[in-house]
Structure 1
Amino acid sequence: MIGRLQGVLLEVQAPEILVDVQGVGYEVFVPMTTLYQLPQPGSSITLLTHFAVSENGQSLYGFYARRDRDLFRTLIKVNGVGPRLALAILSGLEATQLVSCVRENNLAALVKVPGVGKKTAERLVIELRDKLKDWEGSPSPQAGTASNSTGSSVAANAIIADAESALVALGYKPVEASKVIAAVTREHDVARSEDLIRLALKSLVPA
């Protein structure tokens, strides 16, 4: 069981990152709440991890906050929710938002997350209500404010492409991803794909 990684962040291809630990590169899937907090490639990084084994292979999931990993592990115990869907849920909803949705029986917000239909949303509420009854946790640190400089058009296009790819990887349709990214870029001047993804997800799954 791999429970923790400490190394150097090499690459970010949301929702997957590559971490060098003493010469060994670990591919790690991270929720957007963790992606927003990532340092620049080449920086040191420490993540709490969950190692998942299935008939399709082995995957490693990483989290900055212990409460996010705990919530992830609680989610995958729900009938019909695997690690990839749990990752999508934690990417579309902040931990505190998810807990509020469960406590308030807010199915409308849950079904806006890719892969979560009405039946899955109902199972989440039913199976998590008691487990999250006493859940407490402070909000995750927010990502830094994006720079006002958009850089060159090439860099801007790369940011948009990265953001669209990340949304598609999370389960959104390409047309939907392009549409929401275009809407966000018209309203906000962002210089990092992480910030663009955060704003897009916020518009797709409002609090």
Structure 2
Amino acid sequence: MIGHLSGVVRRAGPDFVVLDVGGVGYIVTVASQTRQQLPPPGGDVELHIHTHVREDQLNLYGFASVEELELFEMLIQVDGVGPKVGLNILSAASLEVLKRAIMSEDAAPIRRASGVGQRTAAKVIIELKPRLDAVAALEAVPRAAAMTGDGAVPKAVETALRNLGFSSQEARTGLESVDWKSTPSTQDALATALKALGQGGRSSP
């Protein structure tokens, strides 16, 4: 698998760039946000790559930032959202606008993407909101609580749940919903706990 490419732009179209890396030209599909940041032909660029393999096809999708790549990889895990639709969603609005729309359950920016209807937009929000909530909560967890080590992941998840407003009993319920034998990452464990507790943080009374 290819994780990133650094090279020279040879030519570019509305949704792709041909990147020369060591004399080999890679055709990389890009969203409009990344396309706008590309230098003219002859310029150097580094792209974060998602390698998509399907039957006898291998396609490369490039992104200007790790954050854009991560959101793309979350999107294509949603049922009904393939790479093409995922790129359309990323092209419909900025990364910040899309994340804010998902967190606030506002489907409008997502539905502006070609090929995305009401049901698909709803699926994106339902499946991605807990994961984005988890990312936001983990950013508020003290570094010591998030360090690796025995019991560190459950402790970080519990701290994040409490930061989101859940009671200690609710946090324990969330922890019990996680399959710890599969050794999930902190983010995945928190997303599972949030889903079990109702798709996100506790609402204010």
| Interval of TM-score (by shorter of Structure 1 and Structure 2) | 0.5 to 0.7
Name the CA distance, whole Å, in 2 between partners of 1:23 and 1:131: 39
- Larger radius of gyration, structure 1 or 2? 2
The Cα of 1:39 is off from its aligned counterpart by: 0.8
8 Å CA contact 2:49, 2:62 repeated in 1:
yes
Q: 1:62 is matched by which residue type in structure 2?
A: G
The Cα of 1:134 is off from its aligned counterpart by: 4.1
The Cα of 1:135 is off from its aligned counterpart by: 4.0
**Counterpart for residue 36 of structure 1:** 36
Higher relative contact order (CA 8 A, sep 6+): 1
**Percent of aligned pairs with the same amino acid:** 38
Residue aligned with 1:133, SS: helix
Name the CA distance, whole Å, in 1 between partners of 2:128 and 2:57: 27
TM-score normalised over the length of structure 2: 0.64
- C-alpha RMSD of matched pairs (Å): 1.3
The correspondence of residues 56-75 of structure 1 with structure 2, limited to 5 A, is: 57-75=57-75
The Cα of 1:56 is off from its aligned counterpart by: 6.2
The correspondence of residues 51-200 of structure 1 with structure 2, limited to 5 A, is: 51-55=51-55, 57-135=57-135
The Cα of 1:77 is off from its aligned counterpart by: 0.7
Name the CA distance, whole Å, in 2 between partners of 1:109 and 1:22: 39
Gaps (5+ residues) in structure 2? 137-205
Name the CA distance, whole Å, in 2 between partners of 1:127 and 1:119: 12
Structure 1 residue ranges, 4+ long, deviating more than 6 angstroms after superposition? none
Q: Give CA-to-partner distance per residue, 1:63-95, whole Å, 9 cap, x none.
A: 111100111111111111111111111111211
Name the CA distance, whole Å, in 2 between partners of 1:50 and 1:98: 19
Change in Cα spacing, 1:2 to 1:78, as seen in structure 2 (3 Å) is: same
